[in-house]
Chain A
Amino acid sequence: MQNLIDIFVKSIFIENMIFAYFLGMCSYLAISKTVKTASGLGIAVIFVLGITVPIDYLLEKYLLKAGALSWLSPGLGDVDLSFLSFMVFIAVIASMTQLVEMIVEKFSPSLYNSLGIFLPLIAVNCAILGGSLFMQEREYNTLAEASVFGIGSGIGWYLAIVSIAAIREKLRYSNIPAPLKGLGISFIITGLMAIAFMSFMGIKLG
């Protein structure tokens, strides 16, 4: 349990998807003009990350890893399909976003309307694929660890996009040098926020 809380806190603050690894920057910069849309996209990301990371974990464990197929028959023990992982992960992500979109549309039309176009966009959000690839690289041991990591990363991403959207709403009324307006200042603010987030690095866990 302690371990799970560690991973949760770590993935939200210390290894924040945006401030430490710059994952999902494209949609982060493009869709952070107002808090409302930003939080819609953020929730969708939490949703999809929380679903795809555990699924990819299972696929990785029982299909792709070296020797993973040995549960089928001992003869397949030395088959290594890990070179296929990109393909499998991206397929899972694309189909999951589609599935999530359909489920949300059916059971919660109000949420569907508020998420709108963001759900399909998520398929090409680097944060989602990044979550699966980090899960693979860091070799989490149990399904619970992988799911907690997925949800935690999603929440970290949500925090980041909502906070920059709030700042950008205020910035509209400030006097910024013309060439720096829009994209330039957003980059610099994200940099400053990342510096602030670095202070979490000192936290000792476990």
Chain B
Amino acid sequence: MSEKEPLLSKKNLKLVKDPLNENNPITVQVLGICSALAVTVKMKPAFVMAISVMVVLAASNVIYSLVRNHIPPRIRIIVQLTIIATMVILVDEILKAYVYEVSKQLSVFVGLIITNCILMGRLEAFANANKPWPSFMDALGNGAGYGIILIVVSFFRELFGSGTIWGYPIMEKIGLYNTGYVDNGFMTLPPMALILVGLIIWIQRSRFRNLIETR
């Protein structure tokens, strides 16, 4: 890459756009599924989780990309884990200080960002071989791609599971309960998250046939 390349060149924008759809971290790369499913009962924790992952990913991608040439390959995994763990501790302390309620709901899953495969995956696959700015763009894209799936899954789970959107009782306001409608409590239970993601994968792959697994 030449020094004169503009910051928002086509190549860099592609780094942001691709993970949103055709190279989505969750549905295509199969990274970071653990936390994606567990925090999607309500939209608010899902949103906070998505932002946290994005911040940690962006920060550690940039830092690792800055030091990548000074790290002997043999110890790089430990270095990556240390950088990620430091960032996660920062995010965890900030969440505890400002949005304590949400941080309680997320419970151990903030800590589990450390072993979220998106982070190790992107550090290994991208920041390891690229300059800080493209690494930052890559982190933004992957963080957003992760976030989108989280928001979509949590939207459906909250709407049909508890009849609210972002805590706003929408089903009650439009008077659906009077017609005999009952919330489907099943949507708030863990298995439905898996099935929803399965359906999202189905829809995505029917639109982009090239993603279909051939075996």
Interface residues of A (CB under 8 A from B): 19-26, 29-30, 83-87, 90-91, 94, 123-126, 128-130, 133-134, 137, 172, 177-188, 190-192, 194-195, 198
Q: 22 A–B contact pairs at CB < 8 A?
A: A22-B33, A22-B35, A22-B190, A90-B85, A124-B115, A126-B112, A128-B115, A129-B114, A130-B115, A172-B215, A178-B205, A178-B209, A179-B209, A180-B201, A180-B205, A184-B202, A187-B194, A187-B201, A188-B194, A188-B198, A191-B193, A194-B191
Closest to B194 in A: A191
CB pair B112 A198 closer than 8 Å: no
Interface residues of B (CB under 8 A from A): 27, 30-35, 37-38, 77-78, 81-82, 85-86, 88-89, 92-93, 107-108, 111-112, 114-117, 120, 189-195, 197-199, 201-206, 209, 211-213, 215
The interface residues of chain B lying within 8 Å CB-to-CB of A137 are 107-108
CB pair A86 B88 closer than 8 Å: yes
- Contact for B192 among A86, A133, A191, CB less than 8 A: A191
The interface residues of chain B lying within 8 Å CB-to-CB of A129 are 111-112, 114-115
Report the number of A-B residue pairs with Cβ-Cβ less than 8 Å. 137
Closest to B186 in A: A195
The interface residues of chain B lying within 8 Å CB-to-CB of A19 are 190-191
Distance, CA A191 to CA B195, complexed state (A): 5
Distance, CA A178 to CA B31, complexed state (A): 22
Least Cβ distance of A194 to chain B in Å?
Answer: 4
- Contact for A192 among B33, B191, B211, CB less than 8 A: B191
The interface residues of chain B lying within 8 Å CB-to-CB of A182 are 213, 215
